[in-house]
Every structure is written in C-alpha cells, then in structure tokens.
Amino acid sequence: MCHVLIIEDEPLVAMNIEMMLSEIGATSFSFAVTEDEAVIAAHEHPPQLITSDVRLMDGLGPAAVRRIHEELGPMPVIFITASPHDCDPDDPSTTVLVKPVSSEAVTAAFHRMMPLP
C-alpha cells in the first residue's frame, strides 16, 4: 500500500499525476493546493511519498516539504515543477522533474524511490 500526498494547485496536473501513480502502484492519495493544506494533509494521513510543485496558490512546495519532514520525519519527494532551480536536489530522497512531465519520468522516479512490496 502506498499513500501519496500530491501538492499541486493546478487541478488537471494533480489529476494527471494521480492517474500516472495509480497505474504504477500508488493506492491512495491526498491533495493540497497550499503550503498549509499540505502540512495538514500529511498529518491527517502520513504519506509514503510526496509529489510537489514549487509555486503554490499560497506558499511554496519546498517549504511545505521541509515542514512535513521536520514534523513527521523524512520521506521521498518528487518535485514536478516548471521551476526546478527552486528545489533542493541535494537531498538523496528527492527527485526533480521538469513540467511538462512524462509518464515514463514519473514511473522511473517512483520505482527508484519506493521499495517493492
């Protein structure tokens, strides 16, 4: 079972990410469009994986991820963004993909980060 938190303020992009991940093994999803919503969603249902855009309706994805890691501990992150220079790829549990993102890139990142059951 793999629960994913999708932090994305564009509904069609969020639905596309959900579809790609559900096809490769993610089993449940939470969604957030702001930094604060992301932190709340992570507390309500802790994810095994986070996908995040950088610029959100209110706040920033990397700031939300930092807060979630501080409060819940580390977990893998895939940033899917048009602003890759605003991510911190130094964390080994982080992958940065550039929009528009391909299903193949998301699949490869997911399999690299998530252990097989």
Contacts for 105 with CB less than 8 Å, ≥ 6 apart: 97
pLDDT of 71-111, one tens digit each?
Answer: 999 999 999 999 888 876 556 678 999 999 999 999 999 99
Range of the domain at 63: 3-113
Buried b (16+ CB within 10 A) or exposed e, 49-87: bbbbbbebeebbbbebbebbbeeeeebbbbbbbebeeeb
pLDDT of 34-44, one tens digit each?
Answer: 999 999 999 99
Query: What mean pLDDT value characterizes the chain?
Result: 92
pLDDT of residue 116: 62
C-alpha gyration radius of the chain: 12
Percent of the chain with pLDDT over 70: 93
Domain CATH number, residue 58: 3.40.50.2300
Query: How many domains in the chain?
Result: 1
